[in-house]
Amino acid sequence: MTVVLTGGCACGAIRYECEAKPAVMLNCHCRDCQRSSGGAFAPLVVVQADHFCLRQGVPKYFVSVADSGNTVRRGFCAECGSPLFMSSAALPGYIALKAGSLDDPTLFRPAADLWTHSAQCWDSMNPILPKYEYEPGHPQQKVPEHA
């Protein structure tokens, strides 16, 4: 089923739309996501990039090398600083929308917690979600932890 996801930044300078069923929704606890979100993790809605469309404004991008060794490109509003979306060389053809930037963030339903080896001791993760110390497919990833 196709879903229309809309969102944008806090000041309204940037607006986006994505008409696609999310590939996955997850919480990433890597240090890069902690820094870029300003919190314990980044709640991400992963969608096919070819279904994503900027409707208004021009985001600014910050490119870095993540804990995984992959290049990550994070888009944010240069006016208000709102984090909006990211893409990674690890998932070509996909973009991850920051759940907090959605017009209706109640649509966010995470399926897993990733990079839990970097999770903070004060982070109260949902015990029902599968836990991955790294990302699936990472050489150091073991069988999912179940709390």
In the chain, % of residues over pLDDT 90 = 76
Q: Is residue 74 one of the residues assigned to a domain?
A: yes
Residue 143 has pLDDT above 50, yes or no: no
Residue 102's domain spans which residues?
4-22+44-107
**DSSP-assigned states of every residue in 45-59:** EEEEGGGEEEEE---
Rg (CA), the chain: 15
pTM value is 0.88
What is the rounded distance in angstroms from the CA atom of residue 25 to the CA atom of residue 22? 7
Q: What is the pLDDT of residue 41?
A: 96
**Tokens in use for 17?**
């739309």
In terms of Cα–Cα distance, which of 78, 90, 94 is closest to 21? 94
Q: Is residue 89 one of the residues assigned to a domain?
A: yes
Q: What is the pLDDT of residue 97?
A: 97
Q: Is residue 102 one of the residues assigned to a domain?
A: yes
Domain of residue 99, CATH code: 2.170.150.70
Residue 26 has pLDDT above 50, yes or no: yes
Q: What is the pLDDT of residue 94?
A: 96
Q: Is residue 71 one of the residues assigned to a domain?
A: yes
Q: Is residue 65 one of the residues assigned to a domain?
A: yes
Q: Is residue 114 one of the residues assigned to a domain?
A: no
Residue 120 has pLDDT above 80, yes or no: yes
